[in-house]
Structure 1
Amino acid sequence: MKHAIFIYGTLLPGLRLEAEMHGARLLGPAHIAGRLIDVGLYPGLLQGDGQVTGEVYEVDDDHLARLDAVEGMVPGDRAESHYWREVVTVLSGPLQGQQVQTYLYNLPVDGCTSIPHGDYRRYIREVGRES
């Protein structure tokens, strides 16, 4: 089965975990509703009224299972998951209006820095951080 997945952080091309997306097919750039926070070496996506910038890829079942492992998602056990995969609606781009999956941050966010513009690539450039 094929799955459309929205990515917004270190899985993006040119960033630290891009190799995890090898074999995925780019469907296009996109924005979704939400807000980003800096949780250390990567961003976390939370529900919110802002917009988050990213890309949508098509992956198969095996690839999705690998991404779940990378994101620390324990299928069927949200309480034990670092991130949790949920369905969201694309707000803009070639897939506007379509539903895709993405990973929401699932741990406490006390002390995390907000990324107000919702663009992780831009944020790491602004703060001078390697991905």
Structure 2
Amino acid sequence: MAATKELLFTYGTLRKGESNPMQRYLENNAEWIAKATFQGKLYFADGHPAATPTTDENSQILGDLFEFDESSGLLQELDRYEAYRPANPEKSLYLRKKRKVSLKESNEICDAWIYIYNRPVDNATPIPSGDYAQFSKG
């Protein structure tokens, strides 16, 4: 029986090219597919990149799309990293949700897992470009 493939959209410290142990773990257990965008607003909140969904079609977050085997245990590792507690979502720093993302080159729409920030962003620093990599290196 073939393994079920899943997609993950990353926009912060897990993006391709970032240098940290969990990003390396992701790259060792998933295949990078393409650059992609998510309709949302990006912030820097309490030391973390923070994505929130929006209805504003002009507000896009740039990120990377990875494909992985559902049975790999990758999501459980990432849940710990992102402080997502499936049994206690209200206490989670992020919520893992399946959302529509658009491949940057082809505009193809697909469903991917994304970690949505689960705290208020009132005092967070907006990242108007939607590109955490550019923000963190600037």
Q: What TM-score range do you get, normalising by the shorter chain? A: 0.7 to 0.9
* CA deviation map 1:24-53 (0-9, x unaligned): 111111011001000143200001221000
Show the counterpart of 1:124: 136
- Which of 45, 48, 62 is 1:42 aligned to? 48
For the 8 Å contact 1:32–1:90, the answer to whether it is kept is yes
Q: Which amino acid aligns with 2:25?
A: E
Cα distance in structure 1, aligned partners of 2:121 and 2:19: 22
Q: Which amino acid aligns with 1:87?
A: K
CA RMSD of aligned residues (A): 1.6
Secondary structure class of the residue paired with 2:50: strand
* CA deviation map 1:57-107 (0-9, x unaligned): 112340111111110111132101110011111233347211111000001
Show the counterpart of 1:129: none
Cα distance in structure 2, aligned partners of 1:2 and 1:77: 26
Which piece of structure 1 moves more, 40-49 or 5-14?
40-49
Which piece of structure 1 moves more, 91-100 or 29-38?
91-100
Query: Tell me, which stretches of 5 or more residues in structure 2 are unaligned?
Result: none
Secondary structure class of the residue paired with 2:34: strand
TM-score if structure 1 supplies the norm length? 0.87
Query: Tell me, which stretches of 5 or more residues in structure 1 are unaligned?
Result: 127-131
Cα distance in structure 1, aligned partners of 2:92 and 2:24: 22
Deviation at 1:117, TM superposition (A): 1.1
Q: Which amino acid aligns with 2:68?
A: V
TM superposition outliers: structure 1 runs of 4+ over 3 Å: none
Q: Does 1:64 align with 2:75?
A: yes
Show the counterpart of 2:33: 27
- Which of 102, 120, 128 is 1:91 aligned to? 102
For the 8 Å contact 2:16–2:64, the answer to whether it is kept is no
For the 8 Å contact 1:88–1:100, the answer to whether it is kept is yes
Q: Does 1:74 align with 2:85?
A: yes
* CA deviation map 1:12-35 (0-9, x unaligned): 133243223122111111011001
For the 8 Å contact 1:28–1:95, the answer to whether it is kept is no
